[in-house]
Every structure is written in C-alpha cells, then in structure tokens.
C-alpha cells in the first residue's frame, strides 16, 4: 500500500513572506481535481491455465480416485459491479478443459494380468461453470486495486471419453468408454490485481482455487468383441487457475 506523507514546514521569516505563501496556496487550491463518484461496472474477458490438484491431477495407477487430469486452458467472462469503494458483486461464466493423461490410464489398465496395452487415446475433462458472488476492493492508488472474490454456482462437468486397444496374446480388443456429463454445485475463491490503463480499459491478472464433486452415473464401456460394462463414480475436482485479461468500463 502506498503511504502518503505531508511535510510540514514552519515559516519563521518576515510577515510579507508569510502573506505571499498564503496567496500562492489560494491560487493552487482550485487546480485540484475532483475524484469521480460513481460505481464502476466492467465486462471482463480472461484467458488462463488450470493446474489440477489432489486426486484430480494424480496419475498413480494404484489410486482408484485418480483423475489423471493435466494442466489445461480456460476462457472466462465476468461482469463486475461495484457496490461501494470496498465491495463488488460479480457474475462469471467459464469454460475449462483439462486433458486426461493417456499414459497414466494405460499404466492403470496394464495392471490387469495377461494384458498388453497397445494404445490409449482420450478426450479432455470439460467444465462449464456459471457462478455468482462478491468480493472486496483494496485500492492502493489511482491506477491499481487488489481484488478478492468468493463465488458459488453450477458446473456441468464432462468426464473424458477413452479408447483403449489391448492384446491378450491371441487377439486384439478395442474398448470405448463414453463421456458422461454431471451437474454439480461448485465453489471458487480468488485473488487478483486490476490495473487501470485508462478510464475505459483495465488489465487484470489473478489466481483462484476451484472445487466441485461431480458424480458420474451409468458410465458405459463397450468392447469390439461385444463386451459391455457400466459403473458409477465420483471425482473430486480441485484446480488452481491463473488467468489474465482485459476489462471494459460500461459506465
């Protein structure tokens, strides 16, 4: 936080010099600019990267909770409305994709006896989130502000589709596991910095922690030989996101 200091000087000179100083002060006062008193509204567009945490990012084949998720990308759109100089209200829509590590999945499948994994291909974990919340504003100077945010909302999360080709020594089988969508409650806490480029445009950079616990029901896998299996599972999704973008003043 920038501290402002005021240097006080005692003028112990002739009365005429003191009167001259008063006249200069009177001339300078009208030059001070008034600070605009309005509640800022901004539309923000961000890009970023999401780094899976905990079980979601674990690739240990012995961990049945592992999500094998990889660092991915996100696109975000925010509406930002100041309530006063210290608090704001926000709406957020975000799309996020995190790859599912095919090598980690192949290692898990290879634990089955008498099986040789020939190839594994995957689609990413996909998350669409719509959230609402509030945050705090700490203004350090006329150009920059430190922001926090606390949000809750709804996320639609799609599990990755997986295609695995394996051999048992005598035949080759291809298994296709479908992607399933799950709707779930989600939470987010974040910290960011807003730097005003001019009255209409600002640059924002931030970090946040996202959490959700989707449950995937009737996830089916079918084999090229006619085999069929179905299962339910829950996946703890924990992601640390880093993002940056531009904000456009709507006032």
Other beta carbons within 10 Å of 23: 9
| Both structure tokens of 156 | 């639609």
Helix spans in 122-175 (H): none
Q: What is the pLDDT along the chain (251 residues), one digit of tens a residue?
A: 332 222 222 223 333 333 343 444 444 444 434 444 558 899 999 999 999 999 999 999 899 999 999 999 999 999 999 999 899 999 999 999 999 999 999 999 999 888 899 999 999 999 999 999 999 999 878 789 999 999 999 999 999 999 999 998 889 999 999 999 999 999 999 999 999 999 899 999 999 999 999 999 999 999 988 888 999 999 999 999 999 999 999 98
Closest among 134, 49, 121, 125 to 87, alpha carbons compared? 134
User: Model pTM?
Assistant: 0.82
Domains of the chain in sequence order: 39-249 (2.40.160.20)
């Amino acid at each position: 936080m920038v501290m402002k200091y005021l240097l006080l000087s005692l003028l112990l000179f002739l009365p005429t010099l003191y009167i001259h100083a008063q006249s200069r002060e009177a001339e300078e006062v009208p030059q001070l600019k008034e600070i605009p008193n309005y509640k800022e509204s901004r539309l923000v567009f961000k890009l970023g990267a999401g780094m899976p945490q905990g079980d979601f990012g674990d690739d240990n084949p012995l961990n049945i909770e592992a999500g094998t998720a990889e660092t991915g990308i996100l696109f975000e759109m925010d509406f930002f409305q100041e309530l006063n100089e210290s608090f704001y209200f926000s709406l957020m829509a975000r799309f996020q994709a995190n790859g599912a590590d095919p090598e980690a999945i192949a290692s898990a499948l290879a634990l089955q006896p008498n099986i040789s994994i020939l190839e594994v291909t995957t689609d990413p974990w996909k998350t669409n989130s719509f959230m609402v919340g509030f945050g705090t504003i700490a203004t350090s100077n006329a150009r920059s502000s430190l922001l926090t945010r606390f949000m809750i909302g709804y996320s639609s999360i799609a599990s990755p589709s997986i295609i695995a080709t394996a051999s048992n020594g005598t035949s080759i089988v291809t298994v296709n596991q479908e992607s399933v969508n799950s709707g779930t409650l989600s939470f987010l806490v974040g910290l960011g910095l807003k730097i005003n480029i001019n009255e209409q445009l600002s640059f924002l950079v931030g970090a946040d922690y996202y959490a959700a616990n989707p449950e995937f029901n009737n996830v089916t896998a079918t084999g090229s030989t006619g085999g069929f299996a179905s299962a339910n599972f829950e996946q703890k999704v924990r992601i640390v996101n880093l993002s940056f973008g531009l904000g456009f003043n709507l006032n």
